[in-house]
Every structure is written in structure tokens, then in C-alpha cells.
């Protein structure tokens, strides 16, 4: 199944709809979807290294736009949809302590957690819930998500051929490591609160 998904993404990279698909995944991941856009960005970038910077820009724009939806969920719908999402991820008790951390660390919370494997949707929803400044939330989201995707793009641009070889030979191992990193992100989020 993982191999077919990888091959589908590699084939998608050559199609005109590829940026739209990447943007949609980046948007959804920042507000409700559990799979990070890296799962599409990496295979697409190694398939089309000439478009790596464009893909990083699409991932950044999609992620920030999705983050604004996550912020709105937290600000306007936390009592219904936001709480449901936190229950879905088993983090319902973490929202209040995360809100308290905004009073002390605000900017650093968004900057650091936007770069880590901690699911960004949790940061966006709780930013809205904490009524963090929308202006600063947007600016910091651009900085942190842009840094994440453009650093990844730089690495993919430089080592893309080697990365593609590793993916082609050891896809299941790479997928298992990626899944472990996502799970670690949720665990870190719970532990750090």
C-alpha cells in the first residue's frame, strides 16, 4: 500500500495538478488532517528537483492558510469542533495548559512548535483558543512554516538524488520512521504541556 501511494505521488509530481494537491494537504494538515505535507513534498521534490523551491512555497502558503482556519476553529468553534479534534487526538486536558503557556511564551510557542514534529494544527487551534494576536500568529506562521519547508527544500535540492535512492530501496523503513516521528510529535505535545 505504501509503495502504491509513493508511486502515485511520484506520478502526480509530473502533472499540472501536483501543486494543488500539495497545497490542499498542507492546508488540511494545519487545521484538521493528521498527515504532514512532507509526505507529499519529499517524493514530489525528489521527482522534480527543478521545482523544489516552488513546492516549498506552495506548502508554506497552504500551511499558513490552513493555520488561519485552525485559528478560527480555536477562536470561534473550540467548544464544539476544537474540543472534538483535541479528544480525537487524546489531548483534551492539554488545551488549558497550552493556553497558559501563551501568556508566558507566546511567540516562542508558535516559532518552535511550527518547526517540530508536533502537529501544527494543535498550535493553530490553541492559538485561536488563547486569542493570541492574529497579526503575530500570521507573521510567525509564515516565518516558522516557511523555514521548515524551505530548509527541507534546500536539503532535497542538494541531496534529492540520494534521497530518492533511499526511498526507492527502503520505502517501508522510511515510512515507519516517518510514522514514528508523527507519533513522537503527539507525545512531545502531551509531555511538554
Would you state the pLDDT for residue 165?
73
Name which of 20, 15, 47, 39 is nearest 157 in CA terms.
47
Which string of DSSP letters, residue by residue, matches 2-31?
A: HHHHHHHHHHHTTSTTHHHHHHHHHHHHTT
pLDDT band at 186 (very low <50, low <70, confident <90, very high): low
User: DSSP secondary-structure letter at 49?
Assistant: G
Average pLDDT, the chain: 80
Q: How far is CA 92 from CA 12, 72, 86, 87, in A?
A: 37, 18, 5, 5
d(CA 70, CA 57): 20
27-59 confidence digits (pLDDT tens): 998 988 777 888 788 888 888 888 999 999 999
d(CA 61, CA 55): 10
Query: Which residues make Cβ contacts (< 8 Å) with residue 24, sequence separation at least 6?
Result: 62
Q: What sign does the dihedral 36-182-126-89 (CA atoms) show?
A: positive
Contact 81, 148 (CB under 8 A): no
Contact 35, 29 (CB under 8 A): yes
64-99 confidence digits (pLDDT tens): 999 999 999 888 887 777 677 667 767 666 666 666
Query: What global pTM score does this model have?
Result: 0.77
pLDDT band at 135 (very low <50, low <70, confident <90, very high): very high
144-185 confidence digits (pLDDT tens): 999 999 998 998 888 877 776 776 677 677 777 766 776 676
Amino acid at each position: 500500500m505504501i509503495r502504491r501511494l509513493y508511486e502515485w505521488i511520484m506520478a502526480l509530481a509530473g502533472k499540472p495538478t501536483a501543486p494543488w494537491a500539495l497545497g490542499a494537504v498542507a492546508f488540511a494538515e494545519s487545521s484538521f488532517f493528521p498527515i504532514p505535507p512532507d509526505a507529499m513534498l519529499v517524493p514530489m521534490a525528489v521527482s522534480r528537483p527543478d521545482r523544489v523551491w516552488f513546492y516549498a512555497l506552495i506548502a508554506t502558503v497552504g500551511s499558513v492558510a490552513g493555520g488561519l482556519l485552525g485559528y478560527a476553529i480555536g477562536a470561534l468553534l473550540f467548544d464544539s469542533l476544537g474540543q472534538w479534534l483535541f479528544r480525537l487526538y487524546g489531548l483534551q486536558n492539554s488545551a488549558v495548559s497550552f493556553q497558559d503557556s501563551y501568556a508566558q511564551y507566546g511567540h516562542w510557542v508558535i516559532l518552535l512548535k511550527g518547526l517540530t514534529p508536533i502537529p501544527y494544527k494543535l498550535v493553530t487551534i490553541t492559538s485561536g483558543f488563547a486569542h493570541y494576536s492574529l497579526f503575530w500568529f500570521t507573521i510567525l506562521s509564515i516565518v516558522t512554516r516557511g523555514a521548515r519547508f524551505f530548509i527541507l527544500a534546500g536539503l532535497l535540492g542538494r541531496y534529492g538524488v540520494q534521497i530518492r535512492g533511499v526511498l526507492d530501496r527502503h520505502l517501508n523503513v522510511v515510512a515507519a520512521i516517518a510514522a514514528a516521528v508523527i507519533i513522537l510529535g503527539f507525545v512531545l505535545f502531551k509531555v511538554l504541556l
